[in-house]
A = this chain, B = another copy of it.
Protein backbone atom coordinates (compact mmCIF):
# COMPACT_ATOMS: atom_id res chain seq x y z
CA UNK A 1 0.00 0.00 0.00
CA UNK A 2 1.48 3.35 -0.95
CA UNK A 3 2.33 5.85 1.73
CA UNK A 4 -0.25 8.59 1.89
CA UNK A 5 0.07 12.11 3.14
CA UNK A 6 -2.44 13.08 5.78
CA UNK A 7 -5.21 15.26 4.42
CA UNK A 8 -4.10 18.77 5.34
CA UNK A 9 -6.58 20.75 7.33
CA UNK A 10 -6.90 24.48 7.15
CA UNK A 11 -6.84 26.64 10.26
CA UNK A 12 -6.72 23.72 12.65
CA UNK A 13 -10.41 22.97 12.26
CA UNK A 14 -11.67 19.45 12.50
CA UNK A 15 -12.68 17.88 9.27
CA UNK A 16 -16.29 18.72 8.55
CA UNK A 17 -17.99 16.08 6.51
CA UNK A 18 -19.46 17.41 3.33
CA UNK A 19 -22.59 15.52 4.22
CA UNK A 20 -22.76 16.71 7.81
CA UNK A 21 -25.60 18.90 8.98
CA UNK A 22 -23.39 21.97 9.14
CA UNK A 23 -22.04 21.64 5.60
CA UNK A 24 -23.02 24.04 2.85
CA UNK A 25 -25.67 22.29 0.78
CA UNK A 26 -24.44 21.65 -2.74
CA UNK A 27 -25.23 19.46 -5.70
CA UNK A 28 -23.39 16.15 -5.93
CA UNK A 29 -20.67 15.63 -8.50
CA UNK A 30 -22.52 15.17 -11.76
CA UNK A 31 -21.63 14.90 -15.40
CA UNK A 32 -23.74 17.74 -16.73
CA UNK A 33 -25.46 17.20 -20.03
CA UNK A 34 -27.79 19.48 -21.91
CA UNK A 35 -30.87 17.43 -22.84
CA UNK A 36 -32.36 20.15 -25.03
CA UNK A 37 -31.38 20.82 -28.63
CA UNK A 38 -28.91 23.68 -29.14
CA UNK A 39 -30.52 27.00 -30.03
CA UNK A 40 -30.52 27.65 -33.76
CA UNK A 41 -29.93 31.38 -33.72
CA UNK A 42 -28.44 31.46 -37.21
CA UNK A 43 -30.00 29.70 -40.18
CA UNK A 44 -27.99 27.14 -42.14
CA UNK A 45 -27.58 29.76 -44.87
CA UNK A 46 -26.24 32.31 -42.41
CA UNK A 47 -23.77 29.80 -40.99
CA UNK A 48 -22.66 29.06 -44.51
CA UNK A 49 -22.22 32.78 -45.29
CA UNK A 50 -20.03 33.20 -42.21
CA UNK A 51 -18.07 30.09 -43.17
CA UNK A 52 -17.53 31.46 -46.67
CA UNK A 53 -16.37 34.83 -45.35
CA UNK A 54 -13.88 33.11 -43.06
CA UNK A 55 -12.59 31.03 -45.96
CA UNK A 56 -12.13 34.25 -47.91
CA UNK A 57 -10.09 35.65 -45.02
CA UNK A 58 -7.88 32.56 -44.82
CA UNK A 59 -7.41 32.28 -48.57
CA UNK A 60 -6.85 35.94 -49.36
CA UNK A 61 -5.71 37.85 -46.28
CA UNK A 62 -3.93 35.13 -44.34
CA UNK A 63 -2.75 34.88 -40.76
CA UNK A 64 0.57 36.04 -39.35
CA UNK A 65 2.37 33.31 -37.42
CA UNK A 66 5.50 34.49 -35.61
CA UNK A 67 7.04 31.04 -35.40
CA UNK A 68 9.49 29.58 -37.95
CA UNK A 69 8.52 26.06 -36.93
CA UNK A 70 4.86 26.78 -37.58
CA UNK A 71 5.65 28.42 -40.91
CA UNK A 72 7.54 25.30 -42.01
CA UNK A 73 4.68 23.07 -41.01
CA UNK A 74 2.24 25.15 -43.02
CA UNK A 75 4.58 25.31 -45.97
CA UNK A 76 5.08 21.56 -46.02
CA UNK A 77 1.34 21.09 -45.97
CA UNK A 78 0.94 23.25 -49.06
CA UNK A 79 0.01 26.62 -47.61
CA UNK A 80 1.12 29.87 -49.24
CA UNK A 81 3.75 31.18 -46.85
CA UNK A 82 5.37 34.62 -47.10
CA UNK A 83 8.42 34.36 -44.87
CA UNK A 84 9.13 38.09 -44.88
CA UNK A 85 5.78 38.95 -43.33
CA UNK A 86 5.25 35.54 -41.67
CA UNK A 87 1.89 35.48 -43.44
CA UNK A 88 0.20 32.16 -44.11
CA UNK A 89 -2.69 31.66 -46.48
CA UNK A 90 -4.50 28.34 -46.48
CA UNK A 91 -7.27 27.27 -48.79
CA UNK A 92 -10.55 25.57 -48.08
CA UNK A 93 -9.44 22.30 -49.58
CA UNK A 94 -6.54 22.03 -47.17
CA UNK A 95 -8.74 23.05 -44.26
CA UNK A 96 -11.34 20.46 -45.11
CA UNK A 97 -8.68 17.76 -45.41
CA UNK A 98 -6.93 18.66 -42.20
CA UNK A 99 -10.15 18.94 -40.19
CA UNK A 100 -10.88 15.26 -40.96
CA UNK A 101 -8.48 14.19 -38.23
CA UNK A 102 -10.04 16.27 -35.42
CA UNK A 103 -12.16 14.60 -32.77
CA UNK A 104 -15.68 15.58 -31.81
CA UNK A 105 -15.35 14.02 -28.36
CA UNK A 106 -12.48 13.42 -26.00
CA UNK A 107 -11.67 13.31 -22.31
CA UNK A 108 -9.18 14.92 -19.95
CA UNK A 109 -8.27 12.68 -17.04
CA UNK A 110 -6.68 14.13 -13.91
CA UNK A 111 -5.15 12.10 -11.07
CA UNK A 112 -8.63 11.42 -9.72
CA UNK A 113 -10.54 9.78 -12.57
CA UNK A 114 -13.83 10.75 -10.90
CA UNK A 115 -13.11 14.23 -12.20
CA UNK A 116 -12.56 13.20 -15.81
CA UNK A 117 -13.69 16.00 -18.08
CA UNK A 118 -15.78 14.94 -21.08
CA UNK A 119 -15.51 17.38 -23.95
CA UNK A 120 -17.93 17.18 -26.85
CA UNK A 121 -21.52 16.21 -27.51
CA UNK A 122 -23.97 17.72 -25.08
CA UNK A 123 -21.71 17.61 -22.01
CA UNK A 124 -21.03 20.87 -20.15
CA UNK A 125 -18.08 21.55 -17.85
CA UNK A 126 -17.71 24.64 -15.70
CA UNK A 127 -14.27 25.98 -14.78
CA UNK A 128 -12.71 28.41 -12.36
CA UNK A 129 -11.81 31.91 -13.54
CA UNK A 130 -8.31 32.21 -15.01
CA UNK A 131 -5.82 34.96 -15.53
CA UNK A 132 -6.76 37.88 -13.25
CA UNK A 133 -3.85 39.93 -11.93
CA UNK A 134 -5.90 40.83 -8.82
CA UNK A 135 -8.03 39.22 -6.15
CA UNK A 136 -10.83 40.71 -4.08
CA UNK A 137 -12.99 39.83 -1.14
CA UNK A 138 -15.27 42.02 0.95
CA UNK A 139 -13.16 41.75 4.11
CA UNK A 140 -9.67 42.32 2.78
CA UNK A 141 -10.47 44.41 -0.30
CA UNK A 142 -8.63 44.39 -3.59
CA UNK A 143 -5.01 43.30 -3.77
CA UNK A 144 -2.49 41.90 -6.20
CA UNK A 145 -2.68 38.19 -6.83
CA UNK A 146 -0.54 36.05 -4.54
CA UNK A 147 0.01 32.38 -3.80
CA UNK A 148 -2.00 32.36 -0.58
CA UNK A 149 -5.13 33.64 -2.33
CA UNK A 150 -4.33 31.43 -5.30
CA UNK A 151 -4.32 28.43 -3.00
CA UNK A 152 -7.56 29.42 -1.30
CA UNK A 153 -9.32 29.90 -4.62
CA UNK A 154 -8.28 26.50 -5.93
CA UNK A 155 -9.38 25.01 -2.60
CA UNK A 156 -12.82 26.53 -3.25
CA UNK A 157 -12.82 25.02 -6.74
CA UNK A 158 -11.98 21.65 -5.20
CA UNK A 159 -14.71 22.00 -2.58
CA UNK A 160 -17.58 22.69 -4.96
CA UNK A 161 -18.67 19.76 -7.11
CA UNK A 162 -20.04 21.95 -9.90
CA UNK A 163 -16.58 23.22 -10.74
CA UNK A 164 -15.36 20.53 -13.07
CA UNK A 165 -11.85 21.79 -13.62
CA UNK A 166 -9.50 24.68 -12.94
CA UNK A 167 -8.51 27.32 -15.46
CA UNK A 168 -5.03 28.62 -15.98
CA UNK A 169 -3.92 30.53 -12.87
CA UNK A 170 -6.93 31.72 -10.93
CA UNK A 171 -4.83 34.75 -10.08
CA UNK A 172 -1.24 35.72 -10.78
CA UNK A 173 1.00 35.06 -7.75
CA UNK A 174 2.98 38.22 -8.41
CA UNK A 175 5.33 37.82 -5.45
CA UNK A 176 6.90 34.87 -7.25
CA UNK A 177 9.36 35.15 -10.18
CA UNK A 178 7.42 35.51 -13.41
CA UNK A 179 9.45 32.93 -15.28
CA UNK A 180 8.90 30.11 -12.81
CA UNK A 181 5.66 30.87 -10.98
CA UNK A 182 3.79 28.48 -13.29
CA UNK A 183 5.60 25.68 -11.46
CA UNK A 184 4.26 26.85 -8.11
CA UNK A 185 0.76 27.14 -9.44
CA UNK A 186 0.85 23.72 -11.12
CA UNK A 187 2.04 22.25 -7.84
CA UNK A 188 -0.79 23.97 -5.98
CA UNK A 189 -3.31 22.72 -8.56
CA UNK A 190 -2.04 19.16 -8.30
CA UNK A 191 -1.78 18.97 -4.52
CA UNK A 192 -4.69 21.11 -3.31
CA UNK A 193 -7.07 19.60 -5.86
CA UNK A 194 -7.32 16.41 -7.83
CA UNK A 195 -9.21 17.98 -10.72
CA UNK A 196 -7.86 18.73 -14.17
CA UNK A 197 -6.56 22.18 -15.01
CA UNK A 198 -5.46 24.48 -17.80
CA UNK A 199 -1.75 24.95 -18.22
CA UNK A 200 -0.09 28.10 -19.39
CA UNK A 201 0.96 27.67 -22.99
CA UNK A 202 3.03 30.81 -23.29
CA UNK A 203 5.95 29.06 -24.90
CA UNK A 204 7.11 25.46 -24.97
CA UNK A 205 8.59 25.33 -21.47
CA UNK A 206 5.48 26.25 -19.50
CA UNK A 207 3.35 23.85 -21.54
CA UNK A 208 5.79 20.98 -21.16
CA UNK A 209 6.10 21.55 -17.40
CA UNK A 210 2.32 21.20 -17.09
CA UNK A 211 2.30 18.05 -19.16
CA UNK A 212 5.16 16.50 -17.20
CA UNK A 213 3.70 17.35 -13.81
CA UNK A 214 0.26 16.01 -14.74
CA UNK A 215 1.98 12.82 -15.96
CA UNK A 216 3.84 12.48 -12.64
CA UNK A 217 0.65 12.97 -10.65
CA UNK A 218 -1.07 10.24 -12.68
CA UNK A 219 1.90 7.88 -12.61
CA UNK A 220 2.08 7.92 -16.41
CA UNK A 221 4.89 8.42 -18.87
CA UNK A 222 4.70 11.21 -21.42
CA UNK A 223 4.03 8.56 -24.05
CA UNK A 224 1.11 7.19 -22.08
CA UNK A 225 -0.26 10.71 -21.59
CA UNK A 226 -0.09 11.29 -25.33
CA UNK A 227 -3.02 9.00 -25.97
CA UNK A 228 -4.80 9.77 -22.74
CA UNK A 229 -4.72 13.54 -22.25
CA UNK A 230 -5.01 15.07 -18.80
CA UNK A 231 -4.83 18.80 -19.39
CA UNK A 232 -5.74 21.53 -21.78
CA UNK A 233 -4.74 25.08 -22.52
CA UNK A 234 -6.30 28.17 -24.01
CA UNK A 235 -4.42 29.53 -27.00
CA UNK A 236 -5.46 33.17 -27.27
CA UNK A 237 -5.11 34.50 -30.77
CA UNK A 238 -3.68 38.04 -30.98
CA UNK A 239 -6.61 39.19 -33.03
CA UNK A 240 -6.79 40.34 -35.71
CA UNK A 241 -5.06 37.52 -37.58
CA UNK A 242 -1.89 37.01 -35.56
CA UNK A 243 -0.46 34.10 -33.59
CA UNK A 244 2.58 35.29 -31.65
CA UNK A 245 5.60 33.06 -31.20
CA UNK A 246 4.93 32.06 -27.59
CA UNK A 247 1.34 31.07 -28.28
CA UNK A 248 2.26 29.23 -31.47
CA UNK A 249 5.00 27.31 -29.63
CA UNK A 250 2.67 26.52 -26.76
CA UNK A 251 0.01 25.26 -29.13
CA UNK A 252 2.48 23.05 -30.99
CA UNK A 253 3.93 21.64 -27.77
CA UNK A 254 0.49 20.70 -26.46
CA UNK A 255 -0.47 19.07 -29.75
CA UNK A 256 2.88 17.26 -29.98
CA UNK A 257 2.25 15.64 -26.61
CA UNK A 258 -1.39 14.89 -27.34
CA UNK A 259 -2.78 17.39 -24.87
CA UNK A 260 -5.82 19.51 -25.52
CA UNK A 261 -5.92 23.02 -26.92
CA UNK A 262 -8.81 25.49 -27.12
CA UNK A 263 -7.99 27.95 -29.89
CA UNK A 264 -9.68 31.18 -28.83
CA UNK A 265 -9.57 34.34 -30.92
CA UNK A 266 -9.68 37.53 -28.88
CA UNK A 267 -12.41 39.11 -30.95
CA UNK A 268 -13.70 42.11 -29.06
CA UNK A 269 -16.08 43.79 -31.49
CA UNK A 270 -15.17 47.36 -32.29
CA UNK A 271 -11.56 46.93 -31.19
CA UNK A 272 -9.87 43.78 -32.48
CA UNK A 273 -12.85 42.91 -34.72
CA UNK A 274 -15.52 44.62 -36.76
CA UNK A 275 -18.38 46.18 -34.79
CA UNK A 276 -20.81 43.82 -36.49
CA UNK A 277 -21.53 40.38 -35.07
CA UNK A 278 -21.40 38.68 -38.47
CA UNK A 279 -17.99 40.20 -39.16
CA UNK A 280 -16.61 39.32 -35.75
CA UNK A 281 -17.87 35.76 -36.12
CA UNK A 282 -16.29 35.44 -39.56
CA UNK A 283 -12.97 36.63 -38.14
CA UNK A 284 -13.28 34.38 -35.10
CA UNK A 285 -14.05 31.45 -37.33
CA UNK A 286 -11.04 32.08 -39.56
CA UNK A 287 -8.64 32.48 -36.65
CA UNK A 288 -10.01 29.52 -34.68
CA UNK A 289 -9.91 27.19 -37.67
CA UNK A 290 -6.37 28.29 -38.48
CA UNK A 291 -5.21 27.30 -35.01
CA UNK A 292 -7.14 24.05 -35.20
CA UNK A 293 -5.39 23.26 -38.49
CA UNK A 294 -2.01 23.90 -36.88
CA UNK A 295 -2.71 21.37 -34.11
CA UNK A 296 -3.50 18.73 -36.72
CA UNK A 297 -0.39 19.53 -38.76
CA UNK A 298 1.65 18.87 -35.61
CA UNK A 299 -0.19 15.71 -34.74
CA UNK A 300 -3.24 14.46 -36.59
CA UNK A 301 -5.92 13.61 -34.05
CA UNK A 302 -4.57 15.98 -31.41
CA UNK A 303 -7.47 17.01 -29.16
CA UNK A 304 -8.61 20.51 -29.97
CA UNK A 305 -11.57 22.75 -29.20
CA UNK A 306 -13.18 25.62 -31.05
CA UNK A 307 -12.86 28.58 -28.67
CA UNK A 308 -15.00 31.72 -28.74
CA UNK A 309 -14.66 34.90 -26.76
CA UNK A 310 -16.54 37.34 -29.00
CA UNK A 311 -17.95 40.26 -27.07
CA UNK A 312 -18.12 44.00 -27.59
CA UNK A 313 -16.28 46.99 -26.17
CA UNK A 314 -17.77 50.15 -24.71
CA UNK A 315 -17.45 52.42 -27.75
CA UNK A 316 -17.12 55.45 -25.46
CA UNK A 317 -14.00 54.16 -23.70
CA UNK A 318 -12.81 51.10 -25.57
CA UNK A 319 -13.22 49.06 -22.40
CA UNK A 320 -14.30 45.46 -22.93
CA UNK A 321 -17.83 44.51 -21.93
CA UNK A 322 -19.19 41.07 -21.13
CA UNK A 323 -22.59 39.56 -20.57
CA UNK A 324 -23.99 42.00 -23.08
CA UNK A 325 -26.79 41.04 -25.45
CA UNK A 326 -24.20 40.87 -28.24
CA UNK A 327 -21.94 38.61 -26.16
CA UNK A 328 -24.90 36.35 -25.35
CA UNK A 329 -25.79 36.02 -29.03
CA UNK A 330 -22.15 35.34 -29.94
CA UNK A 331 -22.02 32.54 -27.37
CA UNK A 332 -24.96 30.84 -29.08
CA UNK A 333 -23.91 31.44 -32.68
CA UNK A 334 -20.35 30.31 -31.99
CA UNK A 335 -21.68 26.96 -30.83
CA UNK A 336 -23.37 26.55 -34.18
CA UNK A 337 -20.07 27.25 -35.91
CA UNK A 338 -18.14 24.81 -33.70
CA UNK A 339 -20.65 22.09 -34.44
CA UNK A 340 -20.43 22.76 -38.17
CA UNK A 341 -16.85 21.50 -37.93
CA UNK A 342 -17.59 18.75 -35.40
CA UNK A 343 -15.39 20.39 -32.76
CA UNK A 344 -15.95 20.59 -29.00
CA UNK A 345 -16.87 24.15 -28.04
CA UNK A 346 -15.25 26.40 -25.43
CA UNK A 347 -17.21 29.50 -24.41
CA UNK A 348 -17.31 31.99 -21.53
CA UNK A 349 -19.73 33.93 -19.34
CA UNK A 350 -18.37 37.21 -18.03
CA UNK A 351 -19.15 40.59 -16.55
CA UNK A 352 -17.48 43.98 -16.45
CA UNK A 353 -18.83 44.78 -12.99
CA UNK A 354 -16.33 46.01 -10.44
CA UNK A 355 -18.31 44.42 -7.62
CA UNK A 356 -19.98 41.12 -6.74
CA UNK A 357 -23.34 42.82 -7.10
CA UNK A 358 -26.52 42.74 -9.19
CA UNK A 359 -24.69 43.75 -12.38
CA UNK A 360 -22.12 41.03 -11.78
CA UNK A 361 -24.98 38.57 -11.49
CA UNK A 362 -27.11 39.66 -14.44
CA UNK A 363 -24.24 40.11 -16.90
CA UNK A 364 -22.73 36.75 -15.99
CA UNK A 365 -26.08 35.00 -16.12
CA UNK A 366 -26.94 36.51 -19.52
CA UNK A 367 -23.73 35.12 -20.99
CA UNK A 368 -24.10 31.84 -19.09
CA UNK A 369 -27.49 31.31 -20.73
CA UNK A 370 -25.78 31.95 -24.06
CA UNK A 371 -23.13 29.37 -23.18
CA UNK A 372 -25.76 26.80 -22.22
CA UNK A 373 -28.15 27.45 -25.11
CA UNK A 374 -25.14 27.34 -27.44
CA UNK A 375 -24.16 23.92 -26.03
CA UNK A 376 -20.81 25.03 -24.72
CA UNK A 377 -18.75 22.01 -23.69
CA UNK A 378 -16.18 23.95 -21.71
CA UNK A 379 -17.56 27.00 -19.95
CA UNK A 380 -14.35 28.79 -19.10
CA UNK A 381 -14.09 31.50 -16.40
CA UNK A 382 -17.43 30.25 -15.07
CA UNK A 383 -16.79 31.09 -11.40
CA UNK A 384 -15.11 34.06 -9.76
CA UNK A 385 -14.73 36.41 -12.74
CA UNK A 386 -14.96 40.11 -11.88
CA UNK A 387 -13.95 43.42 -13.50
CA UNK A 388 -13.88 41.99 -17.00
CA UNK A 389 -11.41 39.37 -15.86
CA UNK A 390 -9.01 41.65 -14.01
CA UNK A 391 -9.99 40.35 -10.59
CA UNK A 392 -10.77 36.96 -9.10
CA UNK A 393 -13.46 37.60 -6.51
CA UNK A 394 -14.22 35.31 -3.59
CA UNK A 395 -17.81 36.54 -3.29
CA UNK A 396 -18.39 36.41 -7.02
CA UNK A 397 -17.11 32.83 -7.00
CA UNK A 398 -19.91 31.90 -4.59
CA UNK A 399 -22.57 33.80 -6.58
CA UNK A 400 -21.37 32.08 -9.76
CA UNK A 401 -21.42 28.63 -8.17
CA UNK A 402 -25.03 29.31 -7.16
CA UNK A 403 -25.93 30.35 -10.71
CA UNK A 404 -24.15 27.32 -12.18
CA UNK A 405 -26.07 25.06 -9.84
CA UNK A 406 -29.33 26.75 -10.90
CA UNK A 407 -28.39 25.99 -14.49
CA UNK A 408 -27.46 22.38 -13.72
CA UNK A 409 -30.86 21.82 -12.18
CA UNK A 410 -32.56 23.61 -15.05
CA UNK A 411 -30.89 21.09 -17.34
CA UNK A 412 -32.57 18.16 -15.62
CA UNK A 413 -35.53 17.39 -17.86
CA UNK A 414 -39.09 17.36 -16.56
CA UNK A 415 -40.20 13.80 -15.95
CA UNK A 416 -43.71 12.96 -17.07
CA UNK A 417 -45.10 9.62 -15.91
CA UNK A 418 -47.92 8.35 -13.75
CA UNK A 419 -46.13 8.97 -10.47
CA UNK A 420 -45.05 12.46 -11.46
CA UNK A 421 -48.47 13.41 -12.81
CA UNK A 422 -49.83 12.78 -9.31
CA UNK A 423 -53.41 12.34 -10.46
CA UNK A 424 -54.32 10.39 -7.34
CA UNK A 425 -53.02 13.14 -5.07
CA UNK A 426 -54.79 15.74 -7.18
CA UNK A 427 -58.06 13.93 -6.51
CA UNK A 428 -57.38 13.43 -2.82
CA UNK A 429 -56.77 17.06 -1.86
CA UNK A 430 -60.04 18.94 -1.43
CA UNK A 431 -60.71 22.17 -3.32
CA UNK A 432 -58.95 25.05 -1.59
CA UNK A 433 -56.90 22.58 0.46
CA UNK A 434 -53.17 21.94 0.41
CA UNK A 435 -50.69 19.23 -0.46
CA UNK A 436 -48.32 19.49 2.52
CA UNK A 437 -49.55 16.34 4.21
CA UNK A 438 -50.22 14.21 1.14
CA UNK A 439 -48.29 10.93 0.91
CA UNK A 440 -47.24 11.96 -2.62
CA UNK A 441 -45.65 15.09 -1.11
CA UNK A 442 -44.18 13.42 1.97
CA UNK A 443 -42.47 10.77 -0.12
CA UNK A 444 -40.72 13.40 -2.22
CA UNK A 445 -40.49 16.73 -0.45
CA UNK A 446 -36.98 16.34 0.92
CA UNK A 447 -35.47 16.14 -2.56
CA UNK A 448 -38.21 17.55 -4.76
CA UNK A 449 -36.66 20.97 -5.30
CA UNK A 450 -33.24 22.42 -5.76
CA UNK A 451 -31.96 23.74 -2.45
CA UNK A 452 -29.86 26.86 -2.97
CA UNK A 453 -26.89 27.62 -0.74
CA UNK A 454 -26.80 31.38 -1.24
CA UNK A 455 -30.36 32.46 -1.94
CA UNK A 456 -32.28 33.62 1.11
CA UNK A 457 -35.96 32.67 1.17
CA UNK A 458 -36.77 33.92 4.66
CA UNK A 459 -39.57 36.41 5.08
CA UNK A 460 -38.51 40.01 5.50
CA UNK A 461 -38.87 40.07 9.27
CA UNK A 462 -36.89 36.88 9.83
CA UNK A 463 -34.25 38.06 7.38
CA UNK A 464 -33.93 41.38 9.18
CA UNK A 465 -33.71 39.64 12.54
CA UNK A 466 -30.89 37.46 11.19
CA UNK A 467 -28.94 40.56 10.25
CA UNK A 468 -30.52 41.56 6.94
CA UNK A 469 -27.44 40.44 5.00
CA UNK A 470 -27.57 40.94 1.27
CA UNK A 471 -26.37 38.29 -1.17
CA UNK A 472 -22.81 39.56 -1.29
CA UNK A 473 -22.48 39.57 2.50
CA UNK A 474 -23.87 36.05 2.67
CA UNK A 475 -21.37 35.01 0.02
CA UNK A 476 -18.55 36.14 2.32
CA UNK A 477 -19.79 33.75 5.00
CA UNK A 478 -20.02 30.93 2.51
CA UNK A 479 -16.52 31.09 1.07
CA UNK A 480 -15.10 31.26 4.58
CA UNK A 481 -17.15 28.26 5.60
CA UNK A 482 -16.15 26.37 2.46
CA UNK A 483 -12.48 26.99 3.21
CA UNK A 484 -13.02 25.67 6.73
CA UNK A 485 -14.73 22.57 5.38
CA UNK A 486 -12.25 22.02 2.57
CA UNK A 487 -10.41 18.73 2.66
CA UNK A 488 -7.18 18.33 0.78
CA UNK A 489 -7.30 15.27 -1.46
CA UNK A 490 -5.01 12.46 -0.44
CA UNK A 491 -1.82 12.10 -2.46
CA UNK A 492 0.75 9.32 -2.41
CA UNK A 493 3.78 10.83 -0.69
CA UNK A 494 6.11 9.51 -3.37
CA UNK A 495 4.13 11.36 -5.99
CA UNK A 496 4.26 14.53 -3.97
CA UNK A 497 8.01 14.17 -3.58
CA UNK A 498 8.41 13.57 -7.30
CA UNK A 499 6.41 16.68 -8.08
CA UNK A 500 8.42 18.77 -5.62
CA UNK A 501 11.64 17.42 -7.05
CA UNK A 502 10.49 18.29 -10.57
CA UNK A 503 9.67 21.84 -9.50
CA UNK A 504 13.03 22.26 -7.74
CA UNK A 505 14.95 20.92 -10.71
CA UNK A 506 13.11 23.11 -13.19
CA UNK A 507 13.46 26.23 -11.04
CA UNK A 508 17.19 25.66 -10.97
CA UNK A 509 17.31 25.21 -14.73
CA UNK A 510 15.19 28.30 -15.33
CA UNK A 511 17.47 30.21 -12.97
CA UNK A 512 20.31 29.20 -15.23
CA UNK A 513 18.57 30.60 -18.28
CA UNK A 514 16.73 27.58 -19.65
CA UNK A 515 13.29 28.40 -21.12
Contact = CB atoms under 8 A, between A and B. Distances in A.
Interface of A: 36-37, 39-42, 45-46, 49-50, 53, 56-57, 60-61, 63-64, 87, 142, 238, 240-242, 269-279, 281-283, 312, 314-315, 317-319, 321, 324-326, 328-329, 333, 352-363, 365-366, 369, 387, 390-391, 399, 402-403, 406-407, 409-410, 412-417, 419-423, 425-427, 429-436, 438, 440-441, 444-446, 448-450, 452, 454-460, 463-464, 468, 470-472, 475
Contact of A361 (B57, B361, B413, B416): B361
B448 A276 contact: yes
Given A272-B434, A362-B402, 15 more contacts: A36-B39, A53-B426, A57-B427, A61-B426, A63-B431, A87-B431, A273-B435, A278-B417, A283-B426, A325-B407, A329-B410, A354-B456, A358-B470, A362-B362, A390-B460
A429 to B, nearest CB: 5
B414 A333 contact: yes
A279 B414 contact: no
B431 A326 contact: no
B354 A460 contact: yes
A414 B278 contact: yes
Contact of A319 (B39, B50, B281, B459): B459
A142 B459 CA distance: 13
A432 B365 contact: no
16 contacts: A49-B417, A49-B421, A61-B427, A242-B431, A270-B441, A274-B425, A275-B440, A276-B415, A278-B415, A282-B426, A315-B449, A354-B456, A354-B464, A357-B472, A359-B361, A359-B455
A458 B319 contact: yes
B271 A435 contact: yes
A324 B449 contact: yes
Nearest to A390: B460
Given A319-B459, A448-B312, A422 B366 contact: no
Contact of A326 (B354, B436, B449): B449
A231 B360 CA distance: 37
Nearest to A311: B449
B353 A456 contact: yes
A384 B40 CA distance: 32
Contacts of A448: 269-270, 275-276, 312, 315
A167 B302 CA distance: 57
Given A269-B448, A448-B269, A354 B416 contact: no
Nearest to A409: B325
A433 B240 contact: yes
Contacts of A283: 426
B366 A416 contact: no
A324 to B, nearest CB: 6
A71 B371 CA distance: 51
B399 A282 contact: no
A279 B426 contact: yes
Contacts of A272: 434-435
Contacts of A353: 455-456, 471
B357 A471 contact: yes
Contact of A435 (B45, B270, B359, B455): B270
A269 B431 contact: no
A359 B240 contact: no
B457 A314 contact: yes
Nearest to A444: B275
Contacts of A449: 269-270, 275, 312, 314-315, 321, 324, 326
Nearest to A413: B41
A240 B326 contact: no
Contacts of A318: 436
Contacts of A433: 240
Contacts of A406: 324-325, 328, 362, 366
A153 B426 CA distance: 40
Nearest to A330: B414
Contacts of A352: 455-457
Contact of A240 (B63, B426, B471): B426
A435 B64 CA distance: 17
A64 to B, nearest CB: 4
B450 A46 contact: no
A360 B358 contact: yes
Nearest to A46: B416
Contacts of A142: 460
Nearest to A464: B354
A471 B278 contact: no
Nearest to A43: B416
Given A315-B445, A426-B274, A387 B279 contact: no
Given A274-B422, A353-B455, A358 B56 contact: no
